[in-house]
Structure 1
Amino acid sequence: MSPVRRRAVKPEEASTPRVEHEGHVWRVRSLVAARQVLRARDATTQAGFTAEAIPQGYLDHHPILVSDGPQHDDQRRKVARFFAPTVVAERYTDLMEECADRLLDEATARGGCVLDELALLYTVEVTAEVVGLTESSVPRMARRLVSFFNQPPFDITQDDLGRTPRQWASAAVNGLLPVARFYVADVRPALRSRRKERRHDVISHLLDEGYSTTGVLVECVTYGTAGMVTTREFIVMAAWHLLQHDALRERYLVAEQEERFAILHEIIRLEPVVGHFYRRVHQPVEITDGEASWTVEPGELVDVCVRSANADPQVVGEDPLDLCPGRTLPPGVSAAGLSFGDGAHKCPGQPLAILESDVLLRRLLARGPRLVAEPELGWDHLIEGYWLRGMRLALGSEEGGPAAGRLRSLATRSSARWHAARRRPRA
């Protein structure tokens, strides 16, 4: 059987050396060294997602995605109750299942779908419920959220992000107009509703914390775009792998949740949606990789190269660019690698994203989809990650199609081997 290998490979992106220093920029491709940087919480601050271009002092609460220090810790602690695994499973599973079934029923009636379009509606509807953006049309809100990403390119390692004055003007127009539309159509109605009656959602929490209208708007943009764009792309990528690997797909269909999650974690380790994390150093940071060590000085920028770190053979083992669920990893290393980050800025939405993906993918694959057109792969500057568009599926019955059943014994044997591998200690 031929191995399933990484698809999101950026042609110009280097995979070596493991630690590289050029000018004021460090590029870290060692998973061990990358974790050291991401955990240097008091010595670094967020520099990704254009964090350093966001004006300071205009908001009463700095956005959680780009805040640091005690304020960030307090924000994370208070929103954790919305994203804890048990809370996510108990509160949102029914919503996910209903939404997935409804969208797939509609797609099946049409004979198929473009998966990235269906995944967009699905992830926006789920995210809207968690955030509290429930007073407007999901399809229209989805279009407004997508419009945020119509931005000119930039380079975080360059002064002024490497943009020309014309590009900055374009960024302002392309950014402010969608935000204004999002506020009027989606955030303002939600605020009015929550001011009358609080619910178990992020907007109600922000109001209880005393956030201003502008502060709530900024957080809604953060949660809305992050919850939508990353999970959407991952769902399409995971489906692409599963649809083109019969044994893996059948194994996924018959597996228990723990094993399905392990498969999804391995896919996102191999195919991290966000490919780079950036940190600005404010105090000297010591990093080591084997017997080598370096000191990153204040003012320097660290580029944590997630795709390379996640394929570090010294940590993840043999054939790091192959999709091999059930890898035995060193203690403390996540099965997803650094795909959800590490340290203070580790993504709190990981349990939500994995469960959300699993619910839709299980229901999709049970209908025996046939891949009609593979997706186009491209790259987004804002999240430093990939996008997938145009993956067209033909949908059949809900029993798994003609291939279902032929490989179930293979899937069962494969599942048994996975559990046996989990019980073997790492040498």
Structure 2
Amino acid sequence: MTDPTQDPRFLQDPYPTYTAMRSACPVQPVPTGPGGHTSYLVTGYAEARQALADPRLSKDTAAFFAGKGSRRRLHPAVAHNMLAGDPPQHTRLRKLVTQAFTTGAVAELRPFIARVTGQLLDQWPDGERSDFVAGLAVPLPVIVICELLGVPDEDRPAVRRWSGELFAAGRPDVIDAASHSLAGYMTRLIAAKRLYPGGSLLDRLISARDGDDRLSEDELVSLAVLLLVAGHETTTNFLGNAALALLQHPDELDRLRRNPDDIPAVLDELLRFDSPVSTATFRFTTEAIALGGTDIPSGVPVLVALGAANRDPDRFPSPDRLDLDRNAAAHLGFGHGIHRCVGAPLAKAEADIAFRAVLARFPGIRLAERSDRLEWRRTRLVRGLVSLPVLT
């Protein structure tokens, strides 16, 4: 048995592989890791939605790996964050985070997002080649989440570098070192904010309470790292993937250029069409379950392929067609259930503002390379471009 997702062609275009796997069976075993271990990959929409909300699928990675003799040295703030936990602990943490991470805070950030977007686009040479990823998709979300968390300007390059290193596929030493760098930095930043408080999201997390309950020091550090990484990683890939999809469909791109107020309504379809998170974070069965006609034993990992589920024709007719008139609100690009991405409104706000600005500033923007020559990041967890050359 081989893992078809390890085929080099999969990174370039995973959807034919997903279609073949889903057609054979929407839930099937695949080998993972060098030790011949087996996980179950979910590629059907109905099965993915069920798995994401099934309490028998645990996200408690500490419980799963206990006693397995792992040689990894991830910092606990990264290894045991809110995403890697179950109720009631997850419920408690999310409730405290939600108090601080409000839609009002996102609305207040829109002028800042617009200003940063304009400053970044000012650096693009008019009528020449630019890189959409390096010039906008990477720096914009990083600057925004750092602003939201209160990370000083001078610290942002290092924070951005460490965050990127957390996704260094095949480099566990680099990932582990980055986790300690980020956690150490956030520990120092929290201490500084206690001495000199401000109005950032991190300040609000420090003071967040639910009755007599509040975040412990370890929980604060963990949440700060999680919000920093999750707050820009998904958005970076979302912006790049959506830009590529529109550039490959010039009529749709022109439609949005002529009617920019349509942009908020089409973001769900862009998220569905090429999901920025390819595979949801780690889950494992706490008891034997049946999913999609497949019996899954207790104690094995279940990988939910969000990108595959969003191309399931049983849920989205003609799923390989970009249809900006489609109602794609039920997509799984931000997950589903109690672990659905808390930062979804911020990601959509950044995309709305970014695409309005790009189309207003560069109405003739087009691809500078053939799509099949573009390089994709070498990881199965997220789906994102290394670069996206465009001509303005």
Q: TM-score range by the shorter chain?
A: 0.7 to 0.9
2:160 match? 142
Residue 373 of structure 1 aligns to a residue whose secondary structure is coil
Written as runs of structure 1 = structure 2, the 5 A alignment for 1:233-248 is: 233-248=237-252
Change (3 A) 1:107 1:306: same
Change (3 A) 1:186 1:373: farther
Residue 27 of structure 1 aligns to a residue whose secondary structure is strand
Shift of 1:64: 1.0
1:372 to 368, 373, 382: 368
In structure 2, C-alpha distance between the alignment counterparts of 1:301 and 1:187, rounded to whole Å: 32
Tell me if the contact between 1:147 and 1:178 (Cα under 8 Å) persists in the aligned partners: yes
In structure 1, C-alpha distance between the alignment counterparts of 2:258 and 2:187, rounded to whole Å: 41
In structure 1, C-alpha distance between the alignment counterparts of 2:269 and 2:130, rounded to whole Å: 26
2:337 match? 343
2:42 match? 28
In structure 1, C-alpha distance between the alignment counterparts of 2:63 and 2:391, rounded to whole Å: 39
Residue 377 of structure 1 aligns to a residue whose secondary structure is coil
Q: Which amino acid aligns with 1:354?
A: K
In structure 1, C-alpha distance between the alignment counterparts of 2:181 and 2:39, rounded to whole Å: 37
2:216 equivalent to 1:211: yes
Change (3 A) 1:392 1:19: closer
In structure 2, C-alpha distance between the alignment counterparts of 1:145 and 1:266, rounded to whole Å: 28
Shift of 1:324: 0.9
Change (3 A) 1:201 1:286: same
In structure 2, C-alpha distance between the alignment counterparts of 1:50 and 1:324, rounded to whole Å: 43
2:21 to 11, 15, 25: 15
Residue 69 of structure 1 aligns to a residue whose secondary structure is coil
> Residues 347-405 of structure 1, C-alpha deviation per residue, up to 9 Å, x if partnerless?
11111111111211210121223432357232443x6222312322343xxxxxxxxxx
Residue 154 of structure 2 aligns to a residue whose secondary structure is coil
Shift of 1:90: 1.9
Q: Which amino acid aligns with 1:225?
A: V
Residue 130 of structure 2 aligns to a residue whose secondary structure is strand
In structure 2, C-alpha distance between the alignment counterparts of 1:114 and 1:380, rounded to whole Å: 19
In structure 2, C-alpha distance between the alignment counterparts of 1:391 and 1:225, rounded to whole Å: 21
Structure 1: gaps (5+ residues): 1-5, 153-169, 329-333, 396-427
Tell me if the contact between 2:74 and 2:180 (Cα under 8 Å) persists in the aligned partners: no
Shift of 1:342: 0.8
Shift of 1:264: 1.9
Tell me if the contact between 1:191 and 1:203 (Cα under 8 Å) persists in the aligned partners: no
Change (3 A) 1:344 1:22: same
In structure 1, C-alpha distance between the alignment counterparts of 2:265 and 2:304, rounded to whole Å: 24
Structure 2: gaps (5+ residues): 1-10, 31-37, 209-213
Shift of 1:145: 2.1
Q: TM-score, normalised by structure 1?
A: 0.72
Shift of 1:123: 0.8
Change (3 A) 1:32 1:181: closer
Tell me if the contact between 1:252 and 1:263 (Cα under 8 Å) persists in the aligned partners: no
2:210 equivalent to 1:197: no
Change (3 A) 1:130 1:90: same
Residue 385 of structure 1 aligns to a residue whose secondary structure is coil
1:260 match? 263
Change (3 A) 1:121 1:22: closer
2:280 equivalent to 1:274: no
In structure 2, C-alpha distance between the alignment counterparts of 1:49 and 1:121, rounded to whole Å: 33
Tell me if the contact between 1:268 and 1:336 (Cα under 8 Å) persists in the aligned partners: no
2:67 equivalent to 1:45: no
Tell me if the contact between 1:341 and 1:347 (Cα under 8 Å) persists in the aligned partners: yes
Change (3 A) 1:150 1:302: closer
**Runs of 4 or more above 6 Å deviation:** 47-51, 53-59
Q: Which amino acid aligns with 1:9?
A: P
1:307 match? 307
1:102 match? 119
> Residues 227-267 of structure 1, C-alpha deviation per residue, up to 9 Å, x if partnerless?
2222112111111222232221122234364x323322112
Change (3 A) 1:346 1:132: same
Q: Which amino acid aligns with 1:372?
A: A
Shift of 1:201: 0.2
CA RMSD of aligned residues (A): 3.5
Q: TM-score, normalised by structure 2?
A: 0.78
In structure 1, C-alpha distance between the alignment counterparts of 2:74 and 2:232, rounded to whole Å: 26
Q: Which amino acid aligns with 1:392?
A: P
Tell me if the contact between 2:113 and 2:353 (Cα under 8 Å) persists in the aligned partners: yes
Residue 225 of structure 1 aligns to a residue whose secondary structure is helix
Residue 319 of structure 2 aligns to a residue whose secondary structure is coil
In structure 1, C-alpha distance between the alignment counterparts of 2:243 and 2:76, rounded to whole Å: 42
Shift of 1:47: 7.0
Shift of 1:101: 0.7
1:223 match? 227
Tell me if the contact between 1:19 and 1:30 (Cα under 8 Å) persists in the aligned partners: yes
Change (3 A) 1:272 1:207: same
In structure 2, C-alpha distance between the alignment counterparts of 1:179 and 1:302, rounded to whole Å: 24
